[in-house]
Amino acid sequence: MQLTLDGDVVRAGNRARERFYDSRGYGRVRDGDLDLAPVEAAHLCYRGDIDAVDGMDVRELLASGAVSAVDFLVYKDLRDRGFYLTPAREGWVDDPVGADFVVYPRGKGPWDDAVAYRVRVVGERDDVPAGSLGDCVLAVVDEESELTYLDTSERSVAGTSAADVPEVRGELLAERVLCWDPPAALYQQAFYGQQLDEDAVQLSLVEAAYLAREGLLDVDGGTDAIVDRGRDVEGERFDRRLGVYAALRDSGVVPKTGFKFGADFRTYADVESVDNLGHSELLVRALPADHDFEPRDLALDVRLAHGVRKTMVFALVGDGIEWVQVERLTP
C-alpha cells in the first residue's frame, strides 16, 4: 500500500478505508479515500501496519518534523489504553476548545457522536495560558516522556453559609484588624477571623475590607484605609484576592486562608457553627485572567490538593471571575 505525504495530510487511498478507518477509527474518509494525519500514519508505521510514508519509517517521520514527538507519545498512550481518537484538525471534527485530539469513549469511534475527552498536548516546559483551560484535558509530557493527564473544567461555586452579623468596631493594626468584644456571631456562626480569646477576634485585611464594604465593620478611615493598607502590603494582588473573596462570600461560601496549602483560600460551603465545622472542600488561587501556567506548577497544585482531600480551583480574574477546576485524571 503506497502512502504519500501531501502537505500536512497523508493520502492513503480507498483501499485503506476498510482496513484502518472502518475497523480501527484511523483517519478521515474523503470522497471514498482515506486521509490520515501524520501522527496517525506514524502510529501505523510504529505498529508495523504500514511500512513507510513516502519512503520514511516512523523514526524518519519523527525526525522529519512532520510529526510532533510529544503528540506521537500521547496518541500512542491513548491508543494503548484502548481509545480511538482523531486529531482535532479543521474540517475533521468539531472542536470548540482548541484541542489536539478528540478522544472517544471505549467502544466508540469517529462514526459515533459521543466524546470522552478533548485533549491538549503540552511539554513540561510549555506555557499554558489560563484562558485555554476548561472543558479539556491537558496531556503533559515530561522530559522522560512520562505522561500526566490533568482534567480541566469550568465549575460553579455555591454554598449555604449565610449568618447574620451585627456591626462591629475594629482597629487597623499593621496587616490585620482587631475587634474587641465582638458579637459571637462574627466568629462562631459566620466564621470571620480568628478568635484570640473570648474578648477579641482578629480579621485579615481581606476579611476586614469585605465587612467594611458591607457596612458591617467600623474602622478609622473606613473601607479606604483597609484597602490602602492591603495594597501597601501586597500590591494589585490584594484587589484580586478581595474580588475573589467577595464573590465566594456572596455565593454562600466561607473562604479562609489557604496559606499552609500554598493557595489563597480554602473554602467551606456549609457553615452553621464553628463548633460543627466540616472539612474544607476547595483550595482556591486567585490569578489574573491572562496568567500563564507552567505545567509543573499545575501538577504541584493538583497533587497537593488531592493529598489533603480537596479540589484545586483557579479563580481567573478579568472583567469577571471564571472558576476553573483542575484534577488529575487516569483515562
**Of 46, 76, 268, 291, catalytic:** 268
What the block records as the C-alpha cell of 4 is 504519500
- Residue 148 CA to residue 200 CA, distance in Å, equals 47
Active site residue 310: yes
Asked if residue 283 lies in contact with residue 312, where contact means CB atoms within 8 angstroms, the answer is: yes
Q: Where are the beta strands (DSSP E) in 2-82?
A: 4-6, 9-13, 28-30, 33-36
Phi-psi region of 222 (alpha: psi -120 to 50; beta: other; left: phi over 0): left
| DSSP conformation class of 21 | I
Instruction: Provide the 8-state DSSP code for 217.
Output: E
Which residue, among 220, 238, 222, 219, has the nearest Cα to 230 in the 3D structure? Answer: 238
**Catalytic-labelled residue, pool 187, 256, 279, 291:** 279
Identify whether 306 is a catalytic site residue.
no
* Cα gap 243→249, rounded to integer Å: 10
Q: Over the range 141-169, which residues count as b (16 or more CB within 10 Å of their CB) and which as e?
A: beeeeebbbbbbeeeebebebeeebeebe
Specify whether 46 is catalytic. Answer: no
Cβ–Cβ under 8 Å, residues 147 and 141: yes
Residues acting as catalytic residues: 268, 279, 310
